A and B are shown apart, each in its own frame.
Chain A
Amino acid sequence: MTATTPLWADALTATFLVVGGLATLIGSFGVLRLGTFFQRVHGPALGATLGTWCFVLATVAQVSFQSGHPSLHAVLIAVFIALTAPITTIFLLRAAIFRERLTGLPDERSARQ
C-alpha cells in the first residue's frame, strides 16, 4: 500500500495538513484571546476557510493516490461549510447587536476606542 503513494504525494498531503492545523489553531487562539465579542467573531472564519480547504485537499490528494482514481467527495464538506458558515456568523452578529442594545449599556464597539 505504501508503494502506491509516491513520496511527493505524501509531502503534499503533509503540507496541507500542517497549514490547515496551524490556521485552525490560530483562529481558535483568537477566539480565546481577543478582547471584545465583535473582534472574537473573526476567529472561526480562519478555520472555516483556510483550515477546512487545506484538510479537504489533503483528504482528496491522499485518497486519490491510494485508490488510484480521483475521489472528490470530500469537496462536499468544504462546499457545505462555505455555504453555512457565513449564515451562522450573520445570525450570531445580529443577535449580539440586538442583545447589546437591549442591555442599555454603552455599545461595546464604541466603548472599545
Chain B
Amino acid sequence: MSSLLSFCLSFSLGCLALSMAMALLRMLIGPRAQDRVLAFDCFYASTMLAILALGLRYRSSSYFEAALLIALFGFVGSTAMSKFLLRGEVVE
C-alpha cells in the first residue's frame, strides 16, 4: 500500500470519526425523540463506512460482513424506533 493511500485512509477515518462524534452530540442534545432517532440513523451509517475503510486498511474480507450486518440491524432498529414514535407500539 502506497503512502498516499495510507494517508488518505487515515484522513477519511478521521472524517468518519468526527462525523460519528457530531451525530452522538446531536443524540445527546436532541430536543425531541425524533432528533435522537435521526442522529442514530446518521451514526450507524458513519460506523458502517468506517468499518468498510478499516477493511481496506487491514486487507481482510471479514469487515465486509460486519458492515453489511450493521447496515441490516441499523435499518431494523431505526425503523422500529420510528414505528414506535408513530404508533406507541412496534408490532400491532
Contact = CB atoms under 8 A, between A and B. Distances in A.
Nearest to B59: A66
Given A31-B23, A77-B71, A99 B85 contact: yes
A1 B41 CA distance: 37
Given A55-B49, A77-B52, A27 B15 contact: no
Q: Chain B interface: which size bin?
A: 35 or more
Interface residues of A, number: 55
A76 B61 CA distance: 14
Name which of B32, B33, B41 has the most chain A CB atoms within 10 A of its CB.
B41
Nearest to B14: A21
Contacts of B11: 17-18, 21
Given A14-B5, A47-B45, A47-B46, A92 B56 contact: no
A41 B42 CA distance: 10
Interface of A: 1-2, 5, 7, 10-11, 13-15, 17-18, 20-22, 24-25, 27-29, 31-32, 37, 40-41, 43-44, 47-48, 51-52, 55-56, 58-59, 62-63, 66, 73-74, 76-77, 80-81, 84-85, 87-89, 91-92, 94-96, 98-99
Given A25-B18, A92-B78, 16 more contacts: A10-B1, A10-B4, A14-B8, A17-B8, A17-B9, A18-B11, A25-B16, A25-B22, A32-B23, A51-B49, A62-B56, A77-B52, A77-B67, A91-B78, A91-B82, A99-B85
